[in-house]
Amino acid sequence: MEAQGCDELASQAPSATFVLLTPDTKDWRVCNPDRAERAFVPGSTFKVPHALIALESGAVVDEHQRFVWDGLQRMAPVWNKPTSMAEGMRNSTIWVFQRIAKAIGWEREQAWVRRLNYGNGQVGPASSLTEFWLTGPLRISAIEQVAFLNALRAAALPTPKVNVE
Task: Enumerate the active-site residues.
Answer: 44
**Residues in Cβ contact with 20 at an 8 Å cutoff, skipping those fewer than 6 apart:** 3, 28, 29, 30, 146
Measure the CA dihedral 156/160/164/165, to 10°.
Answer: 120
DSSP states along the chain: -BPTTHHHHHHH-TT--EEEEETTTTEEEEESHHHHHS-B--GGGGHHHHHHHHHHHTSSSSTT-EE---S---SSGGGSS-EEHHHHHHHT-HHHHHHHHHHH-HHHHHHHHHHTT-TT----SGGGTTTHHHHSS--B-HHHHHHHHHHHHTT-SSS-HHHH-
